[in-house]
DNA sequence: CCCTCCAAGATTGTTGACAATCCTACATTC
DNA sequence: GAATGTAGGATTGTCAACAATCTTGGAGGG
């Protein structure tokens, strides 16, 4: 039950620094494809759009560089990373490691059943989106599920790492708009994961996660390779 | 065989931006304990020591914030993170995920035997350090082994994540100088890992890694909890 | 004695200007 | 005509000054 008395709702108010706000917006721009892969991210223009000077903007960009979302070439500028087929495989290898570990941690918890139930709600959202034939929302709910999965593990570090990997995942999807469509049974695939939590079988759960990721790689790597081949990336 | 003719050694020269250089030095300062956990990292003073203005320094610091090595409190400053016993467990849970995945990737390689041999060399360095009773070098070789292990996996993303986790690992050890001593059989423990690569047994390898990490947590978490209790941080 | 208020000093946040580097396009030379 | 050299414009890298915020110390009042 929540405490609703005003005085006890006081929490260490988190004023977010400007550079964090900018970094978050940049992250979303990269994620959605608003900033195309391989394109240069001009400082002056972006600073103007955000209504700040180049200082805070550069600080924000350095954070994305550290995440591996931007590439820095000295005295030339920052560029959105280009994700090739090898990167897709790498991203999913890393995701398998992170999310597999999160899954195992959850299974080890006494309240694993409750976590599975909360994750089921996320799956339900995927179902409704799939029923409406709403591709974008389906893709977003997909990532939301995985984000919540890692969050439920309670590991701040796994969460931070997963966050970046999910941005890259969405980047790939965005770059394949039109070519990539989420499969109809995507939601059911996720039920296998929540079922694995309920089963409590660590080895089986790991296998489920590996298969889930392998499927996704298969869906993405093929179209991406074909896409990159057709048009030089600029 | 390498090509040693001068003209063919030409490679896209990588001039490193100032902020990267500063970030690397800061990382080492945090890692070695030169910047104590919980201590504030003053901009003006550091900028003076580096001989640069606050601009590039702030950019470098933002990168460490993104890595989770520094904590940002708006309008107050940046502080070196404080690692509690829970963090140790989290760090090693994440390391188990990352390095376990790297281990599995290596086992899947056709040249796994060659990789095992290269890693044996790293273990040999640990042996000589242990024989000399050189604790600091032994600890550094330990981390070098794990860094190389992940590097051999060939995954840029696992490597990036492991890099940060290893810095945090060394931070813990540095904060326990005097209380923490590397055990005599530490080198042999690592031979188990290279043996696991040669065995080719994925499940067994994972188990070896999990045990290895569990041991390390046991060695660190206890002393750290006792240490933090004795003297209030900061 | 304790609490509140206020001012001084110090630190962080932001900005605009200056210096260095790079790319493009045109002129020059062989 | 191809290669080399050279301004011009644009972009990034760096800096020092200004504004905003926080902390610290002491004065004043209850």
pLDDT tens for A35-49 read 999 999 999 999 999
Q: What domains can be seen in chain B, in order of their start residue?
A: 18-80 (1.10.10.10), 85-230 (1.20.120.530)
- How far apart are alpha carbons A106 and A116 in whole angstroms? 9
Q: Is B151 on the interface with A (CB under 8 A)?
A: no
- How far apart are alpha carbons A95 and A162 in whole angstroms? 7
H/E stretch holding B40 reads strand B40-41
- Strand C contact at CB of residue B43, distance < 7 A: yes
pLDDT tens for B60-114 read 999 999 999 999 999 999 999 999 999 999 999 999 999 999 999 999 999 999 9
Identify all chain B residues contacting A58, using CB atoms and an 8 Å cutoff.
55, 59
Minimal Cβ distance to B62: which of A62, A68, A203: A62
Per DSSP, B69 falls in state S
Q: Is A205 on the interface with B (CB under 8 A)?
A: no
**Residue position matching structure tokens 């694995």:** A196
Q: Which chain B residues 51-110 have CB under 7 A to strand C?
A: 54-55, 58, 72, 74-78
Q: What is the ipTM of this complex?
A: 0.91
- Give the DSSP per-residue string, A33-68: TSS-TT-EE-HHHHHHHHTS-HHHHHHHHHHHHHHT
Tokens for B29, please give them.
């300062």
- How far apart are alpha carbons A58 and B56 in whole angstroms? 9
The answer, yes or no, to whether residue A109 has pLDDT greater than 90, is yes
Phi-psi region of A53 (alpha: psi -120 to 50; beta: other; left: phi over 0): beta
Tokens for B101, please give them.
């995945």
Mean pLDDT of chain B: 91
Query: B94 vs A55: CB contact, 8 Å cut-off?
Result: no
Residue B112 phi/psi, 5-degree rounding, is: -55, -40
pLDDT at A15: 82
pLDDT tens for B19-38 read 999 999 999 999 999 999 99
Tokens for A151, please give them.
């969050």
- How far apart are alpha carbons B149 and B138 in whole angstroms? 17
């Amino acid at each position: 039950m929540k405490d609703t008395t005003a005085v006890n709702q006081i929490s260490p108010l988190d004023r977010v620094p400007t550079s964090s706000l900018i970094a978050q917006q940049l992250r979303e721009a990269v994620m959605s494809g608003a900033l195309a892969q391989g394109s240069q991210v001009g400082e002056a223009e972006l600073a103007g759009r955000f209504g700040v000077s180049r200082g805070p903007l550069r600080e924000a960009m350095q954070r994305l560089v550290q995440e591996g979302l931007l590439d820095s070439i000295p005295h030339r500028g920052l560029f959105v990373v280009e994700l090739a087929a090898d990167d897709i495989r790498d991203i999913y290898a890393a995701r398998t490691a992170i999310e597999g570990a999160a899954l195992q941690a959850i299974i080890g918890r006494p309240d694993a059943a409750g976590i599975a139930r909360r994750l089921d709600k996320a799956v339900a959202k995927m179902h409704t989106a799939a029923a409406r034939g709403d591709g974008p929302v389906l893709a977003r709910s997909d990532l939301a599920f995985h984000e919540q999965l890692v969050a439920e593990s309670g590991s701040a570090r796994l969460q931070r790492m997963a966050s970046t990997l999910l941005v890259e995942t969405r980047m790939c999807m965005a770059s394949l708009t039109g070519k990539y469509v989420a499969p109809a049974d995507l939601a059911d695939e996720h039920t296998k994961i929540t079922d694995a939590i309920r089963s409590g079988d660590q080895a089986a759960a790991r296998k489920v996660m590996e298969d889930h990721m392998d499927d996704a790689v298969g869906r993405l790597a093929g179209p991406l390779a074909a896409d990159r081949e057709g048009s030089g990336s600029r």
